[in-house]
Chain A
Amino acid sequence: MTKIDTSNPESVLPTPSHTVGPFYGYALPFRGGEEIAPLAHPGTITVHGYVLDGEGRPLPDAFVELWGPAPDGTVPQVDGSIRRDPATGGYLGRNGVEFTGWGRIQTDANGHWYARTLRPGARGHSAPYLSVCVFARGLLMHLFTRIYLPGDETVLAADPLLTQVGARRDTLIAGDEGNGTYRFDIRLQGEGETVFLEFQ
């Protein structure tokens, strides 16, 4: 039954996840999905990488969602990531000045994605990071991971998650390519498999 009886907590059970399938590409990606930072903001960083399968082949049919705090560590609460144009029924893009903190980026034919966003600030006990959610054809349920930025080893060494995962921490820390550009590959399976997370 799919009418949930909220008066009975035992009947409130989760709706199962399903794969996003192959044909979301005309539906979910939107104009400006990768341009999360306000236009020409001096705190802008570029993060990019490949999504790879268990044989190291890039996925041309995956997408990632990035979600991160503002540089001062606050959580963006502004909407407008996917502004729609009532005149044409198409997309307007972001408004150029507000920071929503969220973006959605489809991998290209080579399995590569990129985003420009603001350098995340620290929150709570964690070193600064961007939260990532990965979707793909063949992936029956999305996967969460995090992009930590390299630089301050003291801060990274104190991060609870990076400490917890030990030797696998390198899969969570982006590579510094200079000029505010960071490389972060997501390996779904096999050698160097990215650490994926389960929130409890």
Chain B
Amino acid sequence: MPLTQVDIDLEIAAEHAAYEKRTAGGAPVEHHPRRGYAPYRSSALRHPRQPLVAIDTGKDPELVELHSPAFGERDITETDSDLTRQHTGEPIGERITVSGRLLDRAGRPIRGQLIEIWQANSAGRYAHQREQHDAPLDPHFTGVGRTLTDTEGRYHFTTIQPGPYPWRNHVNAWRPAHIHFSVFGTAFTQRLVTQMYFPNDPLFPYDPILQSVTDDAARQRLVATYDHGLSVPEFSLGYHWDIVLDGPAATWIEEGR
């Protein structure tokens, strides 16, 4: 029997109920997905069964993981943050502006750090060789960008609205439109890879990847806010998305940042 959306919906509901029960019983809020999340079938053989081994970073400030690799102006080019200008022609689709701040758990801006993004084109197709979705490729859109955060931790991308796309987790599985983000903090412990979604997407409840974040408030933090102030007249629609990095960091005084 092929796996249907109904089967997946039941599993998603069961995972959500189990989480609600845990927290009602006093278990901590889970800001991140559990690595073993049955509705996302590819996770089954790719998550550890042994508990993670905790490292108390307070005991050794010298850990290399409390520092981050450095990135600078050499690591980006002028057009890297404008995905609509990387080819000789204009990509097809609605232009959007995506901007926000990169923060640590204390709300402090993370300055001069690397943010990388990648996404499907407006038809929901990635410029990736193994991508099998038969939506058209756009010769004027690759869908890869990078930038450095500014002194206030701010980032800014110009791109086009990505399309939703099908995948093979189950029959009729569709990913809501999203932009993949890869982010560095002031410490390697803060490393984050995630996805940003767009407001009010009807596909949200059906997607086991988004639903793997079982905490309702945490899941909301993956959805950008439409921001009219970021919209550029006669050019693009604006979305605001702040990113908060988890994980311990070296103290700022030590880092001199």
A binds B: yes
For the complex, is A22 an interface residue (Cβ under 8 Å from B)? yes
Q: What is the CB-to-nearest-CB distance from B186 to chain A, in angstroms, rounded to a whole number? A: 12
Q: What is the CB-to-nearest-CB distance from A106 to chain B, in angstroms, rounded to a whole number? A: 12
The A-contacting residues of B in range 27-83, CB under 8 angstroms, are 31-35, 37, 40, 42-50, 52-57, 59-65, 67, 69-80
- Find out whether the CB atom of B75 lies under 8 angstroms from the CB atom of A27: no
Interface SS majority for chain A: loop
Q: Contacts A16-B33, A141-B35: A24 and B42 contacting too (C-beta < 8 A)?
A: no
For the complex, is A178 an interface residue (Cβ under 8 Å from B)? no
- Find out whether the CB atom of B64 lies under 8 angstroms from the CB atom of A68: yes
Q: What is the CB-to-nearest-CB distance from B55 to chain A, in angstroms, rounded to a whole number? A: 5
Q: What is the CB-to-nearest-CB distance from B200 to chain A, in angstroms, rounded to a whole number? A: 13
Interface residues on B, range: 35 or more
**Given A23-B128, A54-B49, A84-B80; 13 other pairs, CB 8 A cutoff:** A2-B224, A4-B103, A17-B192, A27-B143, A67-B69, A67-B188, A81-B71, A84-B75, A84-B77, A100-B70, A124-B61, A136-B46, A138-B44
The B-contacting residues of A in range 16-67, CB under 8 angstroms, are 16-28, 53-55, 57, 59, 65, 67
- Find out whether the CB atom of B55 lies under 8 angstroms from the CB atom of A199: yes
Give the CA-CA distance A198 to B118 in the complex, in Å: 27
Across the interface, name the chain B residue whose C-beta is closest to A61.
Answer: B130
- Find out whether the CB atom of B74 lies under 8 angstroms from the CB atom of A22: no
For the complex, is B242 an interface residue (Cβ under 8 Å from A)? yes
- Please report A residues at the B interface, Cβ cutoff 8 Å: 1-4, 6-7, 9, 12-28, 53-55, 57, 59, 65, 67-69, 75-86, 89, 100-102, 120, 123-126, 129, 131, 133, 135-144, 160-161, 164-165, 168, 188-190, 193-200
The A-contacting residues of B in range 135-192, CB under 8 angstroms, are 142-144, 180, 182, 188-189, 191-192
For the complex, is B106 an interface residue (Cβ under 8 Å from A)? yes
Give the CA-CA distance A187 to B210 in the complex, in Å: 26
